[in-house]
Amino acid sequence: MGNVVIVTHWLDGDVIPFIRIGKELKKRKHDVTLITHCHFEDAARKAGIDFVPWDSPKEYNQLVEMMKDNKTSDPKKKDYSFEGSMFRQKFENNNIRLREYNIVKNACKSPDTVLLCKNRSSIAAYLVAEKYKLPLATVFMNPFEVSSMLMYEQMEGKNDLDRLNTLRNTVGLNKVESWLQWESSAKMSVALWPKWYNNVNKEWPSDVETVGFPLERGKEAYKREIPEDYANWLEDNPNPIVITGGTTKCIKEDFYKSSIEACGELGQPTVVLTKYKEFLPKNIPSNVVCYDYLPLDSIMSKTGLLIHHGGMGTLAGALTAGVPQLILPCYVDRPYNAEIIKKLGVGDYLYPVNWKADKMAPMIKELQKDDIRSKCLYYKDKMSTNKGISVAADYVETLMKNDKYVYSINKNFKGYHSNRNARNNSPKNEYVKNHGSLSDKQRLLLLSIKKKNLTK
């Protein structure tokens, strides 16, 4: 049996999939340790896996607070948003990375250790794997992470390479010539989505295996009971619209206001899920009810339409239940996820400049038509064979059986694949090319300039 050390950062969507994979590996009799933020300790312990925190509750709360929508257009004010340089200086500096290196190193003392880690942020895991010659697999959480890494190399690669080489020198490793060379040198990479959802960008310099969405199924799926008051309301209001911006504050403030206003105009039964009451408008239409929390997986099968932020876990849940989706994306991977959902024919999206009731209400009606529902049922059937967690665990076990997966710098690295025309079938590659390297602020400014050309 092996000693699996799992390393990841940030929020629910970046951590919960690893807890599920770790739970599966533990069931297979492996030792499993999750290293991430202290907030996830209870979830890890309940899954039966060991846990080591990066931080204290105070530090994690600071991180979450800085991840909310606090961007500023005032040049005199500091940008503390999670895309801004201040965030990186506070949470991704070399002192933090060195502390993380020592935490990971201490968890890897067993000779049969293998590492499973999130891409880009898991710098400590890469360094420990290289220093101590350990097998390592890197994980892509969504398709945009692959494409954005290529853009990131062009935008930030030089600066990050300098910081990386300083850190490498501190831990006794030689300099590398390219940030992307180092980042893409893992001998195993897995993608947590099925191939039919989106092919991996062919410009990525190494092979990536798509394994499926990391959703629990059957006896492993923990279905929470629906509250009695909601069950009673549902009897009189079947197949409601459900609005959720996810579990964090990482949304724009008008997400809920615009959605509620549009659903209020339509008069359809609507449920809003958020514990952040400051995001809700003062006046809630009579057809709208609000809950701090409902178990989304449990209520999804009785949902008529899902309005959400575009997170991978949420959209995968809707695909599983065969529910149409209206995505209101902003930040990181969400706009790209929304493009994919539209291409599949199971939903649509609106950028923030168009979060207005007169834009949203017609789209909500359109998405509830029979042709959309037919597509949703088609992909619901496809999702019935999804085995992302078990397949990911299979790959981790493969790490234990072959020395070829020991991490080392790819000396044959020659940059991106040379065939620039060999693009994957991802939706609107121009989106990635022209938008992927921009911050949301820049992206929205561009959309505002081109507003008269938008069709939505």
User: Can you tell me the distance from the alpha carbon of 9 to that of 176, in angstroms, rounded to the nearest whole number?
Assistant: 24
User: Can you tell me the distance from the alpha carbon of 66 to that of 87, in angstroms, rounded to the nearest whole number?
Assistant: 7
Burial of 199 (0-12, 13-18, 19+ CB in 10 A): middle
pLDDT of residue 151: 81
Higher pLDDT pick, 453 / 120:
120
pLDDT of residue 1: 87
Higher pLDDT pick, 5 / 446:
5
Question: pLDDT band for position 147 (50/70/90)?
Answer: confident
* Structure tokens belonging to residue 233: 């309301």
pLDDT of residue 438: 44
- Over residues 316-341, the pLDDT tens digits come to 999 999 999 999 999 889 999 999 99
Q: Delimit the domains of the chain by residue range.
A: 3-54+92-217+387-425, 224-383
Beginning with the edge strand found earlier in the chain, give each strand of the sheet holding 347-349 in spatial order.
288-291, 270-273, 241-244, 305-308, 325-327, 347-349
Of the listed ranges 27-36, 135-144, 304-313, 441-450, the least confidently predicted one is: 441-450
Name residues whose C-beta falls within 8 Å of residue 346's C-beta, 6 or more positions apart in sequence. Answer: 318, 319, 324, 325, 372, 375, 376, 379
| DSSP structure string for 293-310 | ---HHHHGGG-SEEEE--
pLDDT of residue 281: 96
Asked if domains 3-54+92-217+387-425 and 224-383 share a fold, the reply is yes
Q: How many CB atoms lie within 10 A of CB 23?
A: 21
| DSSP structure string for 251-268 | S-THHHHHHHHHHHHHT-
pLDDT of residue 416: 60
Element (H, E) at 115: strand 113-118
Question: pLDDT band for position 430 (50/70/90)?
Answer: very low
Q: Which fold has domain 224-383?
A: Rossmann fold (3.40.50)
pLDDT of residue 249: 82
pLDDT of residue 444: 40
- How many angstroms separate the first and last alpha carbons of the chain? 55
pLDDT of residue 20: 98
Q: Which CATH number fits domain 3-54+92-217+387-425: 3.40.50.880, 2.40.160.20, 3.40.30.10, 3.40.50.2000?
A: 3.40.50.2000
The secondary structure of residue 45, as a DSSP letter, is H
- Over residues 59-81, the pLDDT tens digits come to 999 988 887 754 433 434 444 44
* Structure tokens belonging to residue 196: 């039919």
- Over residues 17-45, the pLDDT tens digits come to 999 999 999 999 999 999 999 999 999 99
Higher pLDDT pick, 452 / 64:
64
User: Can you tell me the distance from the alpha carbon of 83 to that of 95, in angstroms, rounded to the nearest whole number?
Assistant: 20
